[in-house]
Copies of this chain bind each other. A is one copy, B any other.
Amino acid sequence: MNTNHLIIAAGIAEIAAGCISMGLGGFLAGESETDNYKAYEANEYHEVEVMPESELKEVEDAFLSLGVDDKLSHEVALQISRDKDRWVDFMMKFEIGLEKPDKGRAHKSGLNIAGSYLVGGLIPLFPYLVTPDNKTGLIWSCIVTILALMVFGYFKSKVTHQPLLKGTIKVTSIGIVAAAAAFLLAKLVS
Binding site for B on A (CB under 8 A): 8-10, 12-14, 16-17, 20-21, 24, 27-28, 32, 35-36, 39, 63, 66-69, 72, 75-76, 79-80, 82-83, 86, 89-90, 93-94, 97, 99, 156, 160-162, 171, 174-175, 177-179, 181-182, 185-186, 189-190
A57 to B72, CA, bound (A): 18
Per CB-CB distance, the 3 closest pairs between chain A and chain B, nearest first, are: A17-B182, A13-B186, A16-B185
Q: CB-CB < 8 A to A93: which residues of B? A: 93-94, 97
Do A80 and B67 touch across chains, with their CB atoms under 8 A apart? yes
A91 to B27, CA, bound (A): 30
A-B contact pairs, 10 of them (CB 8 A): A8-B189, A10-B190, A12-B189, A16-B182, A17-B178, A27-B174, A28-B171, A66-B90, A67-B83, A67-B86
Do A80 and B97 touch across chains, with their CB atoms under 8 A apart? no
Closest residue on chain B to residue A177 by CB atoms: B24
